[in-house]
Amino acid sequence: MTIQDGREATSSGHAPEVIRVGTRASALAMAQTQTVADALAAASGLPVELVPITTEGDRSKESLSALGGTGVFAIGLREALRDGRCDVVVHSLKDLPTVRAEGLVIAATPKRVDARDAVCARNGLTLDTLPAGATVGTGSPRRAAQVRSRRPDLRVVDIRGNVDTRLRKVASGELDAVVLAAAGLTRLGRLEEVTEYCGLDGWPTAPGQGALAIETRTAPGDVVARAVASIDHRPTRMTVTAEREVLRILEAGCAAPIGAHALIEDGLIFLSARVYRPDGTAHLTSSHALYVADDPRPAEAVAARVAKELLELGAAELVPDGSIS
């Protein structure tokens, strides 16, 4: 089988002349994809071309919950990969559904950057020093629940838009603060806007936050396969797999406020996940660890323990109907 329009032949053995990398067209997506493109160019010796793609999630102004979750950002990229407009696509891993897409595979997960959330507030304020009634913007049900849990006297406002748009709402006085991913601010060179970093122990973030997923067709061709494999980071792949496996087992929907974080240390994989009531008045936490060498699939095994305990503790009763099965 071949991909038309000069793209790589998946079975003929012909090498591609250029590697086309699909990405969302936002400034953040383009910035993070450029780092992947540079690595692929170095590994393959081929020129790499970015292919900007506007997804349904980018076009719509509705909340992510109303749109059906963060998967709306992945659909357009995956269509472009399947129809041959690109050879590789780059996703923010937290935007990717846990169900594998037919005919596609996550071929690499580069080394993760900062997984924390960051508060960007007016006048250098933090969540604890914001005055009662201050407005905090976020489009994430998890972040909204966390803000309400920590400061029930604050007003949480649902917002959409790219990083610059959200930061402008603070600069203009429309909002007192926004909560954003530290990774995105890092990639855009906007860390000077941060007034507080939220520690992962007390503020677990979205499964996969801070990590990228490099997706290809299941038979991308030897040149692309080797180049993509060269940027895979095994510890990152293992930890984000554990985090995302909790979501998969719980069958958690976009309205489920869930945070998870895994790390590998001294031969152990540690995983902690927390499920919040949307209004922030309650949450459940489960944490487990196991030796990586003791199980052929350690990420999946530790996630199964965490998810099982969350369900036994009553996670399904804590969140909106249908958010957790």
Query: What digits encode the pLDDT tens for the residues 85-113?
Result: 999 999 999 989 888 899 999 999 999 99
Q: What are phi and psi of 202, to 5 degrees?
A: -100, -10
CA-CA distance, 96 to 91, in Å (whole number)?
7
Same domain, 278 and 221: no
Average pLDDT for 217-238: 96
Tell me: pLDDT of 65 over 70.
Answer: no
H or E segment and range at residue 293: none
What is the pTM for the complete model shown?
0.88
Same domain, 252 and 308: yes
Q: Is residue 281 part of a domain?
A: yes
CA-CA distance, 238 to 18, in Å (whole number)?
30
pLDDT at res. 252: 75
Q: Give the pair of three-digit tokens for residue 10.
A: 């998946």
Same domain, 97 and 152: no
11 within 8 A of 4, measured Cβ to Cβ: no
DSSP string for residues in 134-179: -EEEES-HHHHHHHHHH-TTSEEEE--S-HHHHHHHHHTTS-SEEE
CA-CA distance, 217 to 84, in Å (whole number)?
9
- Under DSSP, is residue 248 helix (H, G, I), strand (E, B) or coil? helix
Give the β-pairing of 268-276 and 177-181. Answer: unpaired
pLDDT at res. 142: 95
pLDDT band at residue 66 under the 50/70/90 scheme = very low
pLDDT digits (tens, 9 = 90+) for 173-189: 999 999 999 999 999 99
pLDDT at res. 256: 77
> 3-class secondary structure for 27-66?
HHHHHHHHHHHHHHHHHHCCCEEEEEECCHHHHCCCCHHH
Same domain, 158 and 300: no
* CATH assignment of the domain containing 313: 3.30.160.40
Q: Which residue has the higher pLDDT, 199 or 55?
A: 199
Q: Is residue 31 part of a domain?
A: yes
Q: Is residue 11 part of a domain?
A: no
Average pLDDT for 193-201: 97
Tell me: pLDDT of 60 over 50.
Answer: no
Domain that holds residue 295: 238-318
Average pLDDT for 129-144: 97
Identified catalytic residue from 38, 83, 87, 95 = 95
Question: Does 295 participate in catalysis according to the annotation?
Answer: no
> Helix %, strand %, coil % for the chain, to 5?
35, 25, 40
